[in-house]
Structure 1
Amino acid sequence: MSNHLIRTIDGAVVNIVDDVLAHHDATSDRALEILLQLRDRLGGITDDVLVRVADGLKLSRAELYELATFYPSVRYHPTAVATRAAACEDLVCALVRSPHSAEEREATRDESYLCGGSACRGRCDSAQDVVGTGSNVVHADKANWRTLESYRSAGGYGYVERLRRGDVDAADVLAAIERSGSASSVVRKWRAVRDQHGEPVVIANASEGELGTFKDRHILERDPHGVIDAALVAIAVVGARRLIIYLRDDYDHLYRELQQVINEMRVAGLGADVEFDLRRSGGAYICGEETALIASLEGQRGRPREQPPFPTTHGLFGRPTLVQNIETLYRLRAAWGMRVEASLPVTRLLDPAVRIFSVSGRVCCPGVQLMASLPNIAALIAACGGMTEGEELGGVVLGGAAGSILTAEQCRLPLDDLLRAGIRIGSGSSVIVFAQRDDVRWIAAKMAAFLARESCGQCTPCRVGTSKMAGMLAGGPLDPVLMRSLAEVMREASICGLGRSAGQFLAGAAERLQGSAECR
């Protein structure tokens, strides 16, 4: 950002900037949310706007410039504002848009790992509808959004009210969670935060940046009170007074919905002693990692921190911090008696035997699938209506951008056998289906491009390794030995899970492509 660009800006823009600043505490931790609100009203952020915000927040212009350029959702441009977002160039949209065979791809191979269109916006279940439009709009069905009255009639918020009256205590809650068979890590985290000095903070992580993943969006669209109810129980157990909902910025319809839900609760007198803070991510995948998420909420670039110390002891501004994802919170309510409702399919997640999958790509009916018994991945594809017309199953990408590329034969193997062999479903349960005629190397290159773009750049093994990986897969002969060597460095020396899982992905890609036509 150059000093010569600092000049008097349009009076109407000044009024908008000043209005947004006036509705926030003038502190640096609000900087990202302020920039996003200005983007909502102005379409993007220019240098002139950046200067006025920096002065208003008493931040150096360099600090705010670093923040604006780190988070793609800010839509920073020095002098001009884009009228609309570019079309998505990530794997699912590109796959649905382009039916090329391996030979055709070779003729049109691009370098989208270096530059290209917009990043994934979490619309992978409707890629056929939004590909090429540049649209960032989801036409959500308001009738699916559960009301407070409906939720309370099913017993919602009853347990947290008992907890606050003293009918049950924190020990009872933790014991109930343990008896329910929920992840032991939940109880460990809650106890660790509760045992610390200082007032804790609870964060519901709805950033959901994984490629091809939209399960948390599905839960929040249908039963937002179920998530907030569980978060309020967590707050009461650990002794917090503040709930931060960290929402993926692309879910603009959910941002409005959750504001309505919180207002509805306040009118009803629920959570009156809790400070609700609805914050948006800046479009950085790395902020799915807990410490990077916390850095984002502190008004910094989303860069992971060395652990220990862990967020449970030294989290947001050094305070004990509990971070839980949306699915975990939603499922936990089974521990205190909430039950499956036939009229609301999403409540099947209260059954621990039910898995949730985000399915996209070349299937007839992409979307969320809830499966109580899944013999194999092929059965999941069949539940989505099978392959699109004229296509034969080629395989799936399982587990997101750093996941595994399975063959059609592996998709027909028992799921338990795959899990025992070390194949990971991943936290997002993402399943991206591709056809036999799709170029597997191109798919791997798209996955690598995503990881290279989303690396925060903090550590060399990840920053350099993901870039080299993306370039290696994008074109030219492959050297499986070099790929495995690079993968080992990334797995062993990266600071956080992105670099380590990228290394794991590269090792799998080397094995998958070795000796195949894609290797040449």
Structure 2
Amino acid sequence: MIESALDRLGVSRDSLLEVMLDIRDQRGSVSEAGLLYLADRLRLTVAEVYEVATAYPAVNYGSIEPYRTEADGCDDLVCALLRGGANSHDHAGRGVCRGRCDGVSRADSVRVFDEFRAAGGYSIVERLRQEPCLKDRILQDIGSGNAVGRAGTSFPVGHKWQKIIAASGEPVVIVNADEGELATFKDRYILESDPHGVLEAALVAALVIGARQLFVYLRDDYVHLHAVLRRAIDEVVASGLADGLQIDLRRSGGAYICGEETALIASLEGRPARPRERPPYPTEQGYHGHPTLVHNVETFYRLRGIWGAALEPSVPVTALLDPEAALFSVSGRVRQPGPKLVRGLPTLAALVDEAGGMCDSDELGGIVVGGAAGTIVPARLCDVPLQELIASGLRLGTGSAVVFNQHDDIRWIAARMAGFLARESCGQCSPCRVGTTKMARAISDGSLDHATLNDLSVAMSEASICALGRNAGKFLARVIRTLPERQL
């Protein structure tokens, strides 16, 4: 079994994580014997292989219990909230968030290759191969269209592409479909509906920046999408549309930190998921030193709306491609949880209306916006114009919105979020490793006063290596402002 995986993926360190996941698929976990065998075959030290095996929860190293990739519910915020919140005594050990906070899978409605082609799909790829001058037009459209990343940072896409073109070395493109942010599932929705739309945009990016290697890095929990993407990639390769481009589908190992680009790249290189100091940036030196373009699924997909109208007038620019529309993952105590596409959202409370209103006779207690290190917005602010909240510092992040009711304990919610961050810290730097643990404990049991918590917030915000620790510090600062000292 291990040999067949190595034959398929190659006998190199890069294949280490994927081979381990193959072993887990077959046997439920990776044993010590399997680890020793891999170390010998890949000519790595046992310590190097062990470090990778223990860095990714999905490898399930040394466990006697099989790993459940599609478990029924989890122990994180949304599922715990719906099981009763702070009043629940259900601690069933369901594991981490699986990205199914809406409780729905739509893979049976996927747009297949022939249907996508019939609607004009991939015509821009063919035109780019025939008319290389279109590259400049696409770069211009992306720049003038003010395209930004949709993974939470809103970094200008055009600037990123230009930096890679200006860098030395052959570029690499990575589609980040890991989507590990708490209560976020919009990328899953796009892939379930239109995987070829994502691949088309990634192929365009590869042609424009001159890449010959493309990775699709898929969340391991999205088991149903693995076959969907495998088929889509095989269809693209068989059609000749990807000639000259190597496309590899790789799975993540369940490490939240891989939302950080350099940690994701380390994962693809067969190393522990740990962020590195910047500079150099991935656009300068990324995967094995190559300039590397990383976008999440939604960023790639929605770029098609910017160049589509100008270059492919026969291809309709659907609502999802409208650059002015925002896609939210709405979950929690609402009647119709799921992805919600909204243009010109007036207030956060309007998201509740988009999701069918509150469950039963609940009243709105507030909304958690932006994921695990996001903002707990109390009900009194949910009717404030959204642009005013953004101007005062609110960040929408990945667009996740967890709705809670008037009975839900805000401190309990904050403790769940802090616990998630503490668990997902890679442990590389002390400010994050120690800080998130202290933060989670303090919010949960009220063991620290506001002054000490403020010091902790500053230490994490200013001294952590990557955004996880820095954002955790900012999250703590917001919690301090939200909750009176007597509640902490």
Give the TM-score range, shorter chain.
over 0.9
Distance 2:60 2:445 in 1: 30
1:124 aligns with 2:101: yes
Counterparts of residues 181-192 of structure 1 (less than 5 Å): 181-183=146-148, 185-192=156-163
Query: Aligned AA for 2:25?
Result: D
Counterparts of residues 96-135 of structure 1 (less than 5 Å): 96-100=82-86, 104=87, 117-126=94-103
Query: Aligned AA for 2:410?
Result: V
- The corresponding residue for 2:151 is none
1:56 aligns with 2:41: yes
Distance 1:81 1:346 in 2: 47
Residue 297 (structure 1) shift: 0.7
- The corresponding residue for 2:152 is none
Distance 2:112 2:317 in 1: 14
Distance 1:83 1:511 in 2: 39
1:203 aligns with 2:174: yes
8 Å contact 2:327–2:340 — kept in the other structure? Answer: yes
Deviation string 1:466-517 (CA, Å, 9 cap, x unpaired) is 000011111145512211111011111111100010000001111111145x
Aligned match of 1:432 in 399, 402, 412?
A: 402
Go from structure 1 to structure 2 and tell me whether the alpha carbon gap of 1:242 and 1:280 turns closer, same or farther (over 3 Å shift).
same
Query: Aligned AA for 1:157?
Result: Y
1:91 aligns with 2:77: yes
Distance 1:479 1:435 in 2: 27
Residue 53 (structure 1) shift: 1.9
Aligned match of 2:427 in 454, 457, 469?
A: 457
1:494 aligns with 2:478: no
Identify unmatched segments of 5+ residues in structure 1: 1-15, 127-137
What is the number of equivalent residue pairs in this alignment? 477
Give the match's secondary structure for 1:358: strand
1:305 aligns with 2:276: yes
8 Å contact 1:243–1:275 — kept in the other structure? Answer: yes
Give the match's secondary structure for 1:23: helix
Distance 1:94 1:41 in 2: 30
Residue 155 (structure 1) shift: 2.1
1:82 aligns with 2:53: no
Aligned match of 1:448 in 415, 418, 430?
A: 418
Query: Aligned AA for 1:506?
Result: L
1:38 aligns with 2:15: no
Q: Percent same amino acid at aligned positions?
A: 52
Counterparts of residues 63-462 of structure 1 (less than 5 Å): 63-77=48-62, 80-82=64-66, 84=68, 88-100=74-86, 104=87, 117-126=94-103, 139-142=105-108, 144-166=109-131, 168-183=133-148, 185-338=156-309, 347-426=318-397, 428-462=398-432
Go from structure 1 to structure 2 and tell me whether the alpha carbon gap of 1:501 and 1:48 turns closer, same or farther (over 3 Å shift).
same
Deviation string 1:162-209 (CA, Å, 9 cap, x unpaired) is 111126332222112223332372112111111222211111111111
Distance 1:195 1:417 in 2: 38
8 Å contact 1:480–1:514 — kept in the other structure? Answer: no
8 Å contact 2:450–2:485 — kept in the other structure? Answer: no
Distance 2:9 2:448 in 1: 52
Query: Aligned AA for 1:512?
Result: T
Distance 2:239 2:248 in 1: 18
Aligned match of 2:32 in 42, 47, 56?
A: 47
Deviation string 1:417-462 (CA, Å, 9 cap, x unpaired) is 1111101110x10000111111111110000000001111111110
Give the match's secondary structure for 1:125: coil
Distance 1:324 1:151 in 2: 22
Runs of 4+ in 1 over 4 A off after TM superposition: 83-87
Deviation string 1:258-300 (CA, Å, 9 cap, x unpaired) is 0010111223222122111101111001001011111111111
8 Å contact 1:363–1:384 — kept in the other structure? Answer: yes
With normalisation by structure 1, the TM-score equals 0.88
Query: Aligned AA for 1:466?
Result: T
Distance 1:93 1:329 in 2: 29
8 Å contact 2:60–2:67 — kept in the other structure? Answer: no
- The corresponding residue for 1:5 is none
1:471 aligns with 2:405: no
8 Å contact 1:180–1:334 — kept in the other structure? Answer: no
Aligned match of 1:27 in 12, 32, 49?
A: 12
Query: Aligned AA for 1:124?
Result: C
Distance 1:229 1:399 in 2: 28
8 Å contact 1:480–1:511 — kept in the other structure? Answer: no
483-492 vs 115-124, which moves further: 115-124
Give the match's secondary structure for 1:468: helix
8 Å contact 1:155–1:338 — kept in the other structure? Answer: no
Distance 1:346 1:64 in 2: 47
Identify unmatched segments of 5+ residues in structure 2: 149-154
Residue 225 (structure 1) shift: 0.9
